[in-house]
Amino acid sequence: MYTVKELFPTLQGEGTHAGRAAVFCRFAGCNLWSGREEDRSTAVCQFCDTDFVGTDGDGGGKFATANELADAIEAAWRSTGAGPQQRYVVFTGGEPLLQLDEILIAALHHKGFEIAIETNGTIKVPKGVDWVCVSPKTGSELIVLQADELKLVVPQAGHHSLEKLMARFEGMDYRHRYLQPMDGPALKSNTELAVSLCQKRPLWRLSLQSHKLIGIR
């Protein structure tokens, strides 16, 4: 059984694949926050701006089998008139690795999909995922130390020395490293911070939430 909050066609908004046609599949549930506001102040991750509770989003629901969910993802891809080329699905959450498994990965590969995930990096990645983006959260135990992409949201509570943290990540096996300014009331100053750090440490690039800038999901 797979529990999906929402499932919809869009464009990837962040990182290396920004602007690429994709289906987003947001799994319900996370291991760093319950998703309930009353628990936010005691959660490991306190800045999440995403609703990942329940199944009431567009395309959401409970899917009994991997093939059933793969069929729904394929239907979402086709709903825009997209052809069979460059099929791309992004699993996110919450934390997608609480649910994504090798059976679902195989079902989607059979349909020609490239599979991407955005994970907090605290759960082992199953075999077969084509693109792994790790977005680490302060206070959690990072175990995914090798990935295609690292996206560090800045600043987070507990970031006492960002440059020391960045230097630590520079010693790990991430192909691409991004700083993404924390959204919210301090977005302008957070963006200035991220720009300054990218200029100072050129192993990093700036990631913006382009989907928010152009008004899509």
**pTM of the predicted model as reported, rounded to 2 decimal places:** 0.93
Determine whether 30 is an active site residue.
yes
Pick the catalytic residue from 6, 14, 25, 30: 30
Asked if 5 and 57 count as a contact pair (C-beta separation under 8 A), the reply is: yes
Farthest-apart Cα atoms in the chain, separation: 49
Residues in a beta bridge with 27: 4
Pick the catalytic residue from 25, 27, 48, 133: 48
Pick the catalytic residue from 37, 38, 49, 173: 49
- Tell me the average pLDDT of the chain: 93
Q: How far is 86 from 21, CA to CA, in rounded Å?
A: 8
Choose the CATH number for 2-214 among 3.40.50.720, 3.20.20.70, 3.40.640.10, 3.30.9.100: 3.20.20.70
The HSE-up count of residue 185 (CA atoms within 13 Å, CB side) is 0
Determine whether 45 is an active site residue.
yes
Does an H or E element contain 192, and which?
A: helix 187-200
pLDDT in tens, 37-46: 887 887 777 7
Pick the catalytic residue from 14, 17, 24, 149: 24
Q: How far is 18 from 11, CA to CA, in rounded Å?
A: 7
pLDDT in tens, 1-36: 999 999 999 999 999 999 999 999 999 989 877 768
User: What integer pLDDT is reported at residue 68 of this predicted model?
Assistant: 98
Asked if 19 and 72 count as a contact pair (C-beta separation under 8 A), the reply is: no
Determine whether 24 is an active site residue.
yes
Determine whether 50 is an active site residue.
yes
Asked if 212 and 13 count as a contact pair (C-beta separation under 8 A), the reply is: yes
* Domain assignments of the chain as residue spans, ordered by start: 2-214
Per-residue pLDDT, averaged over 193-199, amounts to 96
Pick the catalytic residue from 6, 14, 25, 45: 45
Determine whether 48 is an active site residue.
yes
Q: Which residue has the tokens 């959260």?
A: 137
Pick the catalytic residue from 14, 74, 118, 149: 118
Pick the catalytic residue from 3, 10, 50, 138: 50
pLDDT in tens, 127-140: 999 999 999 998 89
